[in-house]
């Protein structure tokens, strides 16, 4: 088996002394084992069915991403495509995979969502 190379997280993490809450750019964050996250999602999907669960996750994900983008745009004084690029960068930095933008479809299309 090949050894994986690693590096420290690239997102700024601040931990509140009194509460222990982790924050990145002022937003509260959770750091949980991947198996915990996956097992919770799988259990809920098993109860609701894949189609209903996907519908719920789509709505919740859209709401959450929109809120995050609004907050980050204010925090970093960015707008439009820069918000989307920052969103994809932070997803990569938080462990969702190595996501890179090779081409933006259209800045006008993206700007209607941020």
User: Could you read off the pLDDT tens digit of each residue along the chain, which spans 114 residues?
Assistant: 568 899 898 999 999 999 999 999 999 999 999 999 999 999 999 999 999 999 999 999 999 999 999 999 999 999 988 998 899 999 888 888 887 776 555 555 666 666
Instruction: Look at residue 48 and tell me if it is in a domain.
Output: yes
Best CA proximity match to 27, nearest among 8, 41, 7, 11: 11
Which residue range is the domain that position 59 belongs to? 14-111
Instruction: Look at residue 7 and tell me if it is in a domain.
Output: no
Instruction: Look at residue 70 and tell me if it is in a domain.
Output: yes
Instruction: Look at residue 2 and tell me if it is in a domain.
Output: no
Instruction: Look at residue 1 and tell me if it is in a domain.
Output: no
- Residues with Cβ within 8 Å of 39's Cβ and at least 6 positions away in sequence, in order, are none
pTM above 0.85, yes or no: no
Domain count, the chain: 1
Instruction: Look at residue 71 and tell me if it is in a domain.
Output: yes
Instruction: Look at residue 3 and tell me if it is in a domain.
Output: no
CA–CA dist 60, 71 (Å, integer) = 17
């Amino acid at each position: 088996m090949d050894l994986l190379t690693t590096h420290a997280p690239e997102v700024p993490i601040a931990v509140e002394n009194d509460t222990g809450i982790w924050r990145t750019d002022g937003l509260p964050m959770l750091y949980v084992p991947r198996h915990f996250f996956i097992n919770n999602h799988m259990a809920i999907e098993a109860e609701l069915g894949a189609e209903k669960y996907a519908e719920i996750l789509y709505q919740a994900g859209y709401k959450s991403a929109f809120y995050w983008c609004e907050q980050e745009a204010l925090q970093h004084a960015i707008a439009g495509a820069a918000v989307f690029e920052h969103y994809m960068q932070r997803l990569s930095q938080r462990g969702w995979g190595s996501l890179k933008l090779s081409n933006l479809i259209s800045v006008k299309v993206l700007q209607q969502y941020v």
